Amino acid sequence: MMAYVGPENSQLYQQYLLATCNTKIRDKFKFVHSFDYENVDIYPDQKGKIIYLAPVIVFFRNFNDPVSLYTGEPNSLEITKYAFAKSQRLVKPFSQEIVHQMFVEQKPAIILF
């Protein structure tokens, strides 16, 4: 899930909206936003909590690092690149999709037999 937390009139929110329309990530994430942006606490694990100030884009995932904050510039292309990178699992079964990623998109890969 990709979430925007912050004021409605921020440049980051406008770029977030543009990024949500990108076909590279549109089908990979659920998108939510909240304009209730007082200090927000996120508890990634039992060891600690991350406190951040809005506006911010947060990625929630079920593998690797479960919570990731986008700290880049308010730019829809950069948000899309970051989200796409965060959407990739580390280990995938070999398939036509992987062939496309390796040879067409030229994504780095290690093949294990």
φ and ψ at residue 60, rounded to 5 degrees: -115, 130
| pLDDT tens figures, 51-110 | 666 788 888 776 556 678 888 899 999 999 988 887 765 567 778 888 887 788 877 676
pTM above 0.75, yes or no: no
In a domain? residue 39: yes
In a domain? residue 94: no
Domain that holds residue 66: 2-88
| pLDDT tens figures, 6-42 | 889 999 999 999 999 988 788 878 899 888 777 566 5
- When divided into structural domains, the chain yields a total of 1
In a domain? residue 65: yes
